[in-house]
Chains A and B, each alone.
Chain A
Amino acid sequence: MPTENGEVRRHTFAVLVENKFGVLGRITGLFSARGFNIESLSVAETEDPTVSRITLVTEGNALILEQVNKQLNRLIDVIKVTDLSEEAHVDRELVLIKVHAEAEQMRSEVLRLADIFRAKVVDVTPKTYVLEVTGDEGKIRAAINLLKPLGIKEVVRTGKIAIARGQRVL
């Protein structure tokens, strides 16, 4: 029978894991061993200190996304895997952007853009600003694109975090 591959999609998984030594290595090892991609990865302790939550963005066709889910579930230290892209969810990313701005006109343009994106200025020198931008993927991309011509020196991203909408909890 023919293999049904389908189109490549980007999905966001929420993975609850035991907050133990070496678990993250086990998960990233699984991705490299099976040839899956990691687009972004964010991990920290949850309200229960014995549990960590990983938000993982990966890309693949339906078959691969199903295998990502199943192979993660196969790990003993993985407590629960949820494909958030299959349901209504909110996702956010925090980015710190260091922009070079010396001329008065540039400095006011940076502040104007910061205002539009509701970014915070978290550090300022006569030659630079550091902006903190929070938002979904589209907003982050737009902010970076608009700031780029003004002279971005450095960008740091947390990677995406995501949570289901409504009353549902994982």
Chain B
Amino acid sequence: MQGADIFVESLRREGVDTLFGHPGGAILPINDALYRAGMRHFLTRHEQGAVHMAEGYARATGKPGVVLVTSGPGATNIVTGLTNAFMDSTPIVVFTGQVPTAAIGNDAFQEADIVGITHSCTKHNTLVRDVRELASTIKEAFYIASTGRPGPVLVDIPKDVSNGDCEFSYPESVNLRGYKPTVNGHAGQIRRAAEMIATAERPVFYAGGGVVLSGAHEELRQLGELTSIPVTNTLMGLGGFPGNHELAMGMLGMHGTATANLAMDQADLIVAIGARFDDRVTGNLDEFCVHAKFIQIDIDPSSIGKNVQVHLPIVGDVKYCLRQLLEMLRGVQKDWRTAHQDWLEQIAAWKVAHPLQYTQEPDGELMPQFVCEQIYEVTKGGAIITTEVGQHQMWAAQYYHFSQPRKWITSGGLGTMGYGFPAAIGAQVAYPDEVVIDIAGDGSFQMTSQELAMAVQYDLPVIVAILNNHSLGMVRQWQQFFYDGRYADTSLEVSPDYVKLAEAYGAVGLRATEPDEVRPILEEAIRLRRPVVIDFPVKMMENVFPMIPAGGSIKDMLLA
């Protein structure tokens, strides 16, 4: 069988029916094989878009997203997406074309050492040097991407390999002696965790993206309800615990709710569940949670004890560890509700004292938070929401109360502008009948807006809601607070007319300028079932609050 056909057959064995990519000389044999086999390939307008689409697809479904690009510039254009997927533990498998093996190292046309370039931004990568290794390399790539702490895997395929020929045999299983992820938590450690939880007075569950990735949202809800322990989510963890639950405190960290950050500060026990103590969560480590002991549950041992010293580490899959923990805690004779009464009352009081809030301008100028609230209400909290990176991302995280996992798709670790729109397209490909909305900023949207052509070509009814403040709002906010209002290079005074831009691509362009237009225009956009861009010109100088400045602590929190 030809290498390119082995590729297609191997993907079929992995259950893949969708690829995102952009063709080129070195990868052509594979595009041709996909065409002959009738496998679905979405032609993106830039390779960065292809990776973010695969990420969106993977985050919405839990299955690895698949990317196919050519050598050289096709390969180097995917580095941002790979790094994004690596930081956010998103399972994707990326195939790059490569110049023929005999030409490697000769600075051939469209040659790039993509394996070397992506060593530090992939979970694993491989150059296939012989067509006989192609099937087993693909098998391993999917296994590595989707097990343990998920992540991006890159497979580089020289043209003579995809054109080569050998007998096809697909391995039944994978055995990598250097890769054996731990699934179950250590029973002794889980028992000690249960004891610490049972004796804590002011405990907090600090739940991250690992809850979503391992599908442990149900276990987390049960654990919260059993123990009456309040829950805060990281940005990546939103949807891992119902946002409207009485125990939910919302997001924590730099732009987290005051309640979540105050609770962390006052807690005597913090149970980190699939969360990695990112600097946007901790701020100044010397002043972070000074009263607390830490339990950390994570499938990746290197995430434990990296930023803060943990009193009780548990290595394992969050879902399995929480099940073990639940079982032990169910055996504890304790009236949890009464025991945590004072703590829960304190938290309720913080919620009343410091709600998320904004002031509606008397002149009727659109407020970005209001638009996010309206999106939440119109979709009844059920849409798949993606975002770009910046102020709009934080407002979406604050004002859209996610109650289910895999409905919130955002760039957390890397903070990649231009992520949300292609990610929305990827999610829409996975779920054609769902409402998918990219809550975007005008700065970010311009980084990958060319994918409008793809949304139109494949009739994907993605909605882009641009909170248009004619500036790079988050950077402008920092300039206002920390650079004495010197607004260097943050004004987007020349911008496209987004309605016309959408129309130029054959999509629908809409605009709402008054608060009472927002809801009907959103309803219309959803009803149309076509790619839609909605321009919401919003107040330019609005800032995201609360805010704990970078490297600060709870005592530096700005509420308004």
Contact = CB atoms under 8 A, between A and B. Distances in A.
B463 to A, nearest CB: 38
B119 A3 contact: no
A74 B120 contact: no
B139 to A, nearest CB: 14
Interface stretch (A23-31, A36-44, A130-138): A23-31
Contacts of B290: 1
A50 B309 CA distance: 37
Contacts of A3: 285-286, 307-309
A18 B175 CA distance: 13
A33 B118 CA distance: 12
A76 B119 CA distance: 12
Nearest to B301: A70
Question: Which of A2, A67, A74, A78: most chain B CB closer than 10 A?
Answer: A74
Interface string A67-85: 1001101111111100000
Contacts of A29: 119-120
A66 to B, nearest CB: 6
A77 B122 CA distance: 13
Interface string B272-313: 000000000000011011101010000011100111110000
B285 A1 contact: yes
A1 B124 contact: no
B261 to A, nearest CB: 15
Contacts of B306: 67
A101 B533 CA distance: 82
> Which label, helix, strand, loop or mixed, suits the secondary structure of the B interface?
loop
A74 B300 contact: yes
Contact of B179 (A1, A4, A17, A76): A76
Contact of A21 (B129, B144, B289): B129
B401 interface: no
B309 A76 contact: no
A122 interface: no
Contacts of B470: none
A95 to B, nearest CB: 32
Contacts of A67: 302, 306
Interface residues of A, number: 26
B177 interface: yes
Contact of A78 (B119, B178, B288, B305): B178
A1 B178 contact: no
B116 interface: yes
A26 B125 CA distance: 10
A90 interface: no
B2 to A, nearest CB: 24
Given A78-B178, A79-B177, A33 B302 contact: no
Contacts of A18: 178
A67 B301 CA distance: 9
B102 interface: no
A74 B127 contact: no
B200 interface: no
Nearest to A29: B119
B120 A4 contact: no
Contacts of B129: 21
Contacts of A33: 120
A116 B305 CA distance: 47
A22 B119 CA distance: 10
Nearest to A2: B286
Contacts of A155: none
A63 interface: yes
Contacts of A80: 178
Contacts of B309: 1, 3-4, 63
Given A30-B120, A67-B302, A76-B144, A22 B115 contact: yes
A134 B542 CA distance: 69
B127 A73 contact: no
B301 to A, nearest CB: 5
B302 A74 contact: yes
Contacts of A30: 119-120
Nearest to A66: B305
A139 B41 CA distance: 64
A17 B301 CA distance: 19
Contacts of B406: none
Contact of B288 (A1, A63, A66, A73): A1
B123 interface: yes
A100 to B, nearest CB: 40
A107 B530 CA distance: 90
Interface string A1-18: 111100000000000011
A31 to B, nearest CB: 11
A94 B302 CA distance: 34
A78 B179 CA distance: 8
Contacts of B124: 75-77
A74 B180 CA distance: 10
B266 to A, nearest CB: 14
B176 interface: yes
Interface of B: 115-116, 119-120, 123-124, 127, 129, 144, 176-179, 285-286, 288-290, 292, 294, 300-302, 305-309
7 contacts: A1-B288, A1-B289, A2-B286, A3-B308, A63-B305, A75-B178, A76-B176
Given A74-B301, A74-B302, A80-B178, 12 more contacts: A1-B290, A1-B309, A3-B309, A22-B115, A30-B119, A30-B120, A70-B301, A75-B178, A76-B123, A76-B124, A76-B179, A77-B124
